[in-house]
Structure 1
């Protein structure tokens, strides 16, 4: 299925990286569901840019399966067809500020639970709720947003990194389970992006240091990262599933 024929749900699509993902898919002609939890005004503004035939803003906390189910029902009603493609981008409240992070000696289990709920439970909820529509269409694409930190923990964000590592495991087990239904499940992992709401607290010297150690000599932008997601939704990736593509300018080379 061409990208222009797909109905794409982008969780956390109103701001930051999610906004760039919405713009990337809409730029290829897809119909896009801009999910938001607290950013209603930004989501509505983005959806209005493309018009009701191309985009709709819908609220849901992805950690709540009931809200996700209602989101998908509303999207189907709006576009007249079920969602075919899910981008699990929503991030539980988190700031990439190495100086303010919780260290090994004081991090609380509740911090892990919050990240696991956002990354793993959220992705499970959206996949489970979207699966009937994907089976109906005979086509499905699930793309999870990961991180290069579990390969290169340059800053030990314990809770965030552990949750994203678990999401990679879920990506691969779902790929194995859903392949028979023509549903692929893949992950795109980035490093620090310049700049999103989550990375706004990062000092400039950290960005500069990362740029200096990256083969391309710069920090990846949200738009550059978002473009990579298009590959997994495209016909060129029809035989690719269970994979993790690292998009960080070559900082992580394995």
Structure 2
């Protein structure tokens, strides 16, 4: 299915990387569902920017009923079901190397909080869209990860562990859903310059990353968004269960 034929749901789509992904799909002619939790004004502004090919819907991805209602609302608005799911939402986390909790301070509740956003949220969206994807024999699912679980330059214990778990989740889903024409992949960016989540990161840290990267650049939201487009496009139709690291070559897997 071409990009301009797809209906794409982006969780956490109102700001940062999510906004860049929404805009990238919209530029290709796709219809987009901008999911948000608290960023109502940003989501509505983005919807107005795109026009009739977008709808902004509030839903907490950790709440299965809210997620199911969101999928139904999107289906009614566009007259067709969601074909493509981008699990991007990041629940209440900032990349703050100074303020992060150390190994002796972090609690199981901290881990569980991030696992709820990464795994439970992705499970809810996939299950909400699965029946229609199976009936259409087509689906594209892209989960947003991080290069930190392969190279934990900063030990963000809870966040990084949740994203490592998301890779296992991605590959299990890919194994089972491939028979229905559904691909499931992960895109793992480096620390992005700059989003709300990375705003606490100093310029010195970004310069260190830039100097350590073969391409000599810091990853941008657009770099990651374009890779997400690849997995959703016809050019990515033969790829599933993969984790593609987008960080200028800092991590070579």
Q: TM-score range by the shorter chain?
A: over 0.9
* Deviation, structure 1 residue 136: 2.3
Q: Which residue of 1 aligns with 2:98?
A: 99
Residue 2 (structure 2) pairs with residue 2 (structure 1): yes
Map of 1:114-125 to 2, 5 A cutoff?
114-125=113-124
Equivalence for 1:20: 20
Instruction: Look up the match of 1:72.
Output: 71
Q: Hey, what's the Cα distance between the residues in 2 that align with 1:225 and 1:181?
A: 27
Moved more, 218-227 or 165-174: 218-227
Consecutive unaligned residues in structure 1, runs of 5 or more: none
Q: How far apart are 1:223 and its partner, in Å?
A: 1.1
- Aligned match of 1:40: 40
What are structure 2's unaligned runs of at least 5 residues? none
Question: Using the alignment, how far apart are the partners of 1:183 and 1:250 within structure 2?
Answer: 29
Q: Deviations over 1:63-82 (max 9, x none)?
A: 11100000000000000000
* Alignment length (residue pairs): 253
CA distance in 2, matches of 1:234, 1:11: 19
Partner SS state of residue 146, structure 1: strand
Scaled by the length of structure 1, the TM-score of the pair is 0.99
The one-character-per-residue Cα deviations of 1:137-160 (angstroms, maximum 9, x if unpaired) are 221000000000111000000000
Q: How does 1:165-184 map to 2 (within 5 A)?
A: 165-184=164-183
Aligned to 1:108: 107
Q: Deviations over 1:172-221 (max 9, x none)?
A: 00000101110000000011000000000001100010000001111011
For 1:104-253, what aligned pairs fall within 5 Å after superposition?
Answer: 104-253=103-252
Distance in structure 2 (CA, Å) of the matches to 1:221 and 1:117: 26
Q: Which runs of 4+ in 1 moved over 4 A?
A: none
Between the aligned partners of 1:138 and 1:177, the Cα distance in structure 2 is 13
Q: 2: distance between equivalents of 1:143 and 1:125?
A: 14
Deviation string 1:25-59 (CA, Å, 9 cap, x unpaired) is 1111100000000001110110111112x100001
Counterpart CA distance in 1 for 2:240 and 2:2 is: 17
Deviation at 1:225, TM superposition (A): 1.2
CA distance in 2, matches of 1:115, 1:137: 32
Secondary structure in structure 1 of the residue aligned to 2:70: helix
State the 1:13 CA deviation.
0.1
Q: Deviations over 1:72-130 (max 9, x none)?
A: 00000000000000000000100101110011011011110110000000001000111
